[in-house]
Amino acid sequence: MLKKKEGSIESQIYRLTDRVIKLTYHLKKNGKDYSSQRGLWKILGKRKRLLIYLFEKKFTSYQNLTKELGIRRLKKINY
């Protein structure tokens, strides 16, 4: 894991990615668990917002984090 402060953007994205992986595994077994599915969507939205912020403020950190976690890069930012 990253050697960053606990509340940093990078560590929050790391923790959210860990939760996404666990929920994805859970939903493969329990396909009709719609409340968990909704929770996954909310987590993905939060992670996306944090990635957009990191992209705009610290681009090199964004690149390193996406490479380390295996996250696809943002498609297009319309701001």
pTM metric for this prediction: 0.87
CA distance linking residue 69 with residue 61, whole number of Å: 12
- Tell me what pLDDT residue 12 has: 97
In sequence order, the 6+-apart residues with CB closer than 8 A to the CB of 13 are 47, 50, 51, 54, 65, 69
CATH number among 3.40.50.620, 1.10.287.10, 3.40.50.300, 3.40.50.12160, domain 9-69: 1.10.287.10
Annotated domain spans of the chain? 9-69
If you compute the radius of gyration of the chain from its CA atoms, what whole number of angstroms results? 13
pLDDT, tens digit only, all 79 positions of the chain? 545 678 999 999 999 999 999 999 999 999 999 999 999 999 999 999 999 999 999 999 999 999 999 999 888 776 5
For residues 10 and 8, give the distance between their C-alpha atoms in angstroms, rounded to a whole number: 5
